[in-house]
Amino acid sequence: MDLQDKRVLAIVTNYGVEQDELLVPAKKLREAGATVDVAAVESEDVQTLVGDKDPGEKVEPTLTVGEADGSAYDLLLIPGGTLNADALRQDNDAVALVSTFASSGRPVAAICHGPWILIEAGVVEGKTLTSYPSLRSDLRNAGGQWIDQAAVSDDTGGWTLITSRTPDDLGDFVEAIGKALA
């Protein structure tokens, strides 16, 4: 996977993002040559969690969500973590970034609880996607077709949505992201 000159924007809150859902894709994409910026709601360090409860690594954000210029990136990455995803979907700047990527035809990749923000942005209808199982009804109620697969790519509607279930599926998730960027 050669991702030279590709730019990825990961959006997170400052507390509660699932550690591996942020760090593993960022590392793998950087190893393939992509630039990965982490935009947090605030400029302070991001405290990741492991399993939604145990403190993980701290991550220094590159910029804030409010400062992020979505047009400068090739793909939007939305990691999960229940606390992160629930708070992120309430951030107007983050929701606007999702809408910007979808309306401009650029790919969005969301894992675990990350797809909650897709509902807020109104971009789920007509899409086939997956997530952590507890979001199944929310995504179906928003007009999506939820399926239980490790990673799902759907390019209907003029833009690609890549979704995945849990950290156990990160290999498939990162591979799908790589294909969308290649």
pLDDT digits (tens, 9 = 90+) for 41-94: 999 999 999 999 999 999 999 999 999 999 999 999 999 999 999 999 999 999
Quick check: is 59 in a domain?
yes
DSSP 130-172: ---GGGHHHHHHTT-EE---SEEEE-GGGS-EEEE-SGGGHHH
In angstroms, what is the C-alpha Rg of the chain? 14
Quick check: is 2 in a domain?
no
Dihedral pair phi/psi, residue 169, rounded to 5°: -100, 15
Q: What percent of the chain has pLDDT over 90?
A: 99
With a cut of 50, list the residues of the chain below it in pLDDT: none
Q: For residue 108, what pLDDT is reported?
A: 98
Quick check: is 86 in a domain?
yes
Quick check: is 166 in a domain?
yes
CATH of the domain at 170: 3.40.50.880
Cα dist. 13→22, 58, 84, 121 in Å? 11, 12, 5, 17
The rounded distance, in Å, linking the Cα atoms of 177 and 170 is: 10
Quick check: is 155 in a domain?
yes
Name the active-site residue from 9, 36, 112, 181: 112
Q: For residue 154, what pLDDT is reported?
A: 98
What global pTM score does this model have? 0.98
Q: Quote the number of domains for the chain.
A: 1
Quick check: is 1 in a domain?
no
Q: Output the average pLDDT for the chain.
A: 98
Which residue range(s) make up the domain with 61? 7-181
Quick check: is 31 in a domain?
yes
Name the active-site residue from 28, 89, 113, 165: 113
- Residue reference for tokens 């923000």: 117
Q: For residue 1, what pLDDT is reported?
A: 80
- Residue reference for tokens 């939007």: 76
Query: Catalytic site residue 113?
Result: yes
Task: Report which secondary-structure segment, H or E, holds 104.
Answer: none
